[in-house]
Structure formats: structure tokens, C-alpha cells
Amino acid sequence: MYKALKPGDTIGIIGGGQLGKMMAQSAKKMGFIVGILDPNQNCPAAQVSDWIICAEYADKEALREFARKVTVLTFEFENIDAAALREMEDLSAIPQGSEVISITQDRIKEKRFLESIGVSVAAFELVETTDQLTAALEKIGYPCVLKTTRFGYDGKGQVVLKSEADKEWAAALIAENSCILEAWVPFSKELSVMIVRNQRGEATIFPVSENIHVNNILHESIVPARISPIVSEKALEAAQQIADALQLVGTLGIEFFLTKDDNIFINELAPRPHNSGHYTIEAVSLSQFDAHIRAVAGLPMPKPRLLSAVVMVNILGQQMEDSLALREKKAEWSFHYYGKEGNYPNRKIGHITILTNDVEETLKEIEDTGIWSKS
């Protein structure tokens, strides 16, 4: 059991992207000093923090220096060397631990863990050679999805196989990576739940989000999700079951597939705040970032209250200029910009939160801007 932090203690965040930035803003609001470790001196999180160690994530000496300078260490993404994180546990408190990273950064480990605790996942097979791919396809059949076991996000590192003709693309992925072949889930909706848990086992569970993706990148999140109360209860119960089995400390984003017959399958886990939880900043009595800092600081976890129905829409690099012009017309919308260097196509550079009394009308309002329908 970690002693609760007090104002003036230092929270160190590995990773300086937008998630680290919003974590840092929450930590500063609570009176903590914030340090960042990131390769980019002017990363988004460094812009709102007290100090930064500018180094690569694999730099073990920099990681050790970082750990010695902070009271508690946390992270904004899962692709950290779990072994390096374990070594740092002797130098600083790491409430989340390294085991959750070890499980969630490897899709095979993650799926096996989920199977072991009895939650539903799509059928899957480890694939490291073309012969294994052939054998796995015989078991799973078409359509299916081949994904790298590590480092994939926003549709990167995966291939959808609809027929034998797609095996050539699959072979190219296997040649460079260890992979997992997953059965295609014929989903009607994609959902997610954010759960944040402290060392005492107290959990803050946020409402189910309905997520709409375009080109494998999250486009919109809608809360409350347009699902039945029974499905919502299933998803929240699964989130609690997974968090307890992991002995989670900190935040876990859980992505689900919902089928037409109201069954849910776990797609992926993310041991950190999640894009689909950004709506919580304006629409909930505390944000996912406030909850995360409370958890790693050893503070009690409150029950969240949804203050309004809400739609969150992402801003990608190619939508930056149009979104800036939109601010003149949409005074009620909350615009967030992350401070990234370079507005590259399909790069998340901000988001907009829209509190609403009519979700369908708001979705149409977003569509009518024309910004998100452009290629």
C-alpha cells in the first residue's frame, strides 16, 4: 500500500504526447510537481510540466535518472520495456507496476489472459510463419484479421483477410513481425469503458462510450452509448472483472465489439487514459485524467456523475485549418488542441467535445460542417 501523495510531491510521466499533457494538467491542478521523459524537448506534455528529461524510452540510464527524481512514476502509453520498468521499481514507486504493461503490450498474452478469466474474445491463433498462417486459416476461416502482436495502433500493423487472395499481404506482415490471427467479429457497434482503480481496490467506472471509427482511427465517441441497459451492464461488469483480475492500479481502457444479438467481445486493452474517454473532461464530474492521477497518488476514488449527453469528435492533421475556422461558428463547442509539431494527415492533433440534449441532432450538426467528410 502506497502512502497518499501530498501537494509538492513529484509525479513522473513516461511519454509526452497528448495523454501525458492532459495527465500533467490534472496533476498540476492537484498541486503536484510534474516531470516528463520524452525524446522531444517540446512535446505536448512538456509544455505544461515543470521539467523534462529528453531521452529515448529505451535509454536505461535516463530512465533510472528519471525514477530517482520522482515520488511516483506513471506512463501514458503501453509500449515501454516491461523489464526496464521492473528495474525502476527499486528507485521509485510505480503503482501500476510492470505486469499490466507486460500483458497489454503483447496481443497474444492479452488474449490468453482474457480467456483465462472467462471473458469473451474472438478465436485467435499465434502466427509466426506462412505455414502457421495456413493452419490458422483452416481453423478460423475467412474473414479474419492478422495483426502484429506488438506496437500496432490506429489500424497500423494489421491486414484484413477476406479470401485466399489476401494471403500475399499477410505474408509480408509475417515476414517482419510475430502476428496473431483473429476471427472477424460481425459487430454492430464498437464500445469502450474506462475504469480507474487505486491500490485499495476502489474503482471509478465511467459510462459506456459508443465509438465510430473511420479508416481505423477513432472519429466520434457518443455517451450515453445507444445500447440497451443490459448491454451497458454487461460491459461495466466485464470492466470490473478485468480490472480486479489485473489488480489494476491506474487507468484501463477496454474496447468491445457488440454483435446484433447483444453479445460483447473484448477487442483490446489499453493500460492508460484513452481517446474515447476524452469526453469526460467536460461531461463528467471528474475526468479520466483526474481519476488516473488520484489513483496513482493513492487517493480515494469517487463515483463519476455524467453531467450531460455528449459527442466527442477527433481533429486530424488535415482538419486543423477548417476546425480553427469552425471556432467562430460554434461557441458552445469545446475545442482542444494538443500542441504537436506538424499537422500530418491522419495524425490526432486535437478533439472537440459537444455537450448536447439531442445526440442525433449533434451528429448531424457535425456532419453538416463538411469538415469530416473530406478525404
Q: What are phi and psi of 304, to 5 degrees?
A: -80, 145
pLDDT tens, residue by residue, 256-308? 999 999 999 999 999 999 999 999 999 999 999 999 999 999 999 999 999 99
* Range with lowest mean pLDDT among 60-74, 115-129, 138-152, 206-220: 138-152
What is the reported pTM?
Answer: 0.95
**Residue 176, pLDDT score:** 84
- Closest CA relative to residue 123, chosen from 155, 145, 95: 145
pLDDT in tens, 57-112: 989 999 999 999 999 999 998 878 888 888 888 889 999 999 999 999 999 999 99
Residue 165 or 230, more confident:
230
The radius of gyration of the chain's CA atoms, rounded to the nearest angstrom, is 20
Residue 2 in this model has a pLDDT that exceeds 70:
no
DSSP state of 306: B
Residue with cell 528529461: 53
CA-to-CA separations, 261 to 123, 193, 228, 233, 265, in angstroms, rounded: 18, 20, 11, 15, 12
The one-letter code for the residue type at 8 is G
Question: Quick one: which H or E segment has residue 136?
Answer: helix 130-140
Report the pLDDT value the prediction gives residue 115, as an integer from 0 to 100: 97
Mean pLDDT of the chain: 94
* Residue pLDDT, tens place only, 160-199: 999 988 888 788 889 888 999 999 999 999 999 999 999 9
Domain annotation for the chain: domains and CATH numbers: 10-94 (3.40.50.20), 123-183 (3.30.1490.20), 187-368 (3.30.470.20)
Predicted confidence at residue 332, as pLDDT, reads 97
Confidence of residue 146 (pLDDT cuts 50, 70, 90): very high
Please, how many CA atoms are within 13 Å of residue 191, restricted to the half-sphere of its CB?
Answer: 30
DSSP 198-263: -TTS-EEEPPPEEEEEETTEEEEEEES-SS-HHHHHHHHHHHHHHHHHHT--EEEEEEEEEETTS-
From residue 370, give the alpha-carbon distance in Å to each of 169, 356, 363: 34, 20, 12
The answer to whether residue 151 scores a pLDDT higher than 90 is no
The confidence score (pLDDT) of residue 152 equals 61
Taking residues 12-23, report their average pLDDT: 98
Query: What whole-number distance in Å separates Cα of residue 143 and Cα of residue 185?
Result: 9
pLDDT computed for residue 155 by the predictor = 54
pLDDT over 90, % of the chain = 86
Calculate the alpha carbon distances from 357 to 304, 309, 312, 364, 366 in Å.
19, 6, 14, 13, 15
pLDDT in tens, 329-357: 999 999 999 999 988 999 999 999 999 99
